[in-house]
Every structure is written in structure tokens, then in C-alpha cells.
Amino acid sequence: AAPPPSAPGEPAPPPPPLQYSLLLQHLVGDKRQPRVWDPAALGGIPCPPKSEEQKMVERGMERCPFKAALACRGGGFVLGGAFGIFTAGIDTNVGFDPKDPYRTPTAKEVLKDMGQRGISYAKNFAIVGAMFSCTECVVESYRGKSDWKNSVISGCITGGAIGFRAGLKAGVIGCGGFAAFSAAVDYYLR
């Protein structure tokens, strides 16, 4: 559309803005409105609002005692037991008798060794999981934030405490190693 003619001696009105600049103002300019992401709008599964019971369960699962119990029993004990049984299964010395090296161990002896190693690993993993989880809860409560630094600090404290039993150098190496592992896991999960 052509601009209306102006009277002689009056300045010409400014040209109308381009449609592209109007679009930019709505996308990135001052007129941009914050959008609430709705999965149903994009063809996703609609998510109803959470009930009070669901919120109560989530709050309970975010508390330190639940996290420590889950890390100790759920994660550490089960994972450690499975890892112990796996390593015993591939170990060629399971059921080996040093007095008679040519004797083939029986299935009962092999299963007994696998069970003992599985229980040993399960206890160790449960202790480490509980130590890390409790330390992370304390650090998170102290800092008042929930970010990646909590797991790195907790990993350093846990690894240092475990390694310190073998000396200062082992404690420093344990601190660095466990902190790096915690950072990698936290980066992957977030």
C-alpha cells in the first residue's frame, strides 16, 4: 500500500516497518512473550498436574535418609553383589586348593566361593554408597544448592576418607579419582 500523500511543506511520514522486522520483534525483541512448554501441543503425551500424594512421595524421596538407604541397600549392595559374583565367575582360581593344584573344584565349592565374594563386594559397595550419599546430603544442605559441585566435593571427601587408611598420598589420589568419577557420572546424568 502506498503512503497517503502529504501536504506540501510537511515532512513525509516514515515508511511502514517491514514485516520481517515485526516478526523479529515478536521472536527476539521486546514484544517476545515467555512460552510455557506444553507437550500436548507438540503431539506428545499430555501430563496431568501432580496430585498431593505424588508431591508427598517426591518430597520423601528427596530426603537424605531415603537417598542413603537407596545408595546403601538398593544400589550398593545389589550392584556390589552382582559385580562380586561376576568377577568370581570369570576368575580361574575360584575353588582352587593350593595343597592339591591338579584337583578340579566341585560345583558346590565354586558356588560357595562365588557367594562369599559376592557378599564381600556387596558390603564394600554398600558402605561406599552410603558414605557418598550421606556426604552429598551434608554438602548440599551446607551449600544450599543442588548442582554438580556437590557430587565433586562429596566424591573427594569419600575417596579421600577411603584412601587415607593407606596413607596421605593414597588419600589424595583417592580424593582426585573419586571426584573425577563423580563429576563424570554427574555430567552424564544431567
Q: Model confidence over 5-43: pLDDT tens digits?
A: 556 667 777 776 667 777 777 677 667 776 666 666 666
Grid cell listed for 55: 508431591
- Under the banding of pLDDT at 50, 70 and 90, the label for residue 88 is confident
Pair (151, 161) in one structural domain = yes
Q: Indicate if 113 and 82 belong to the same structural domain.
A: yes
Domain assignment present for residue 178? The answer is yes
Q: How much is the mean pLDDT over the chain?
A: 82
pTM over 0.75? The answer is no
114 and 182, same domain (yes or no): no
Is residue 103's pLDDT more than 60? yes
d(CA 145, CA 190): 15
Instruction: Report pLDDT digits (tens) over 139-163.
Output: 998 998 888 899 999 999 999 999 9
**pLDDT over 60 at 179, yes or no:** yes
Q: Are residues 119 and 155 both part of a single domain?
A: no
Distance CA 178, CA 175 (A): 5
Dihedral over Cα of 60, 62, 64, 65: its sign: positive
- Exposed/middle/buried for residue 54 (C-beta within 10 Å: 0-12, 13-18, 19+): exposed
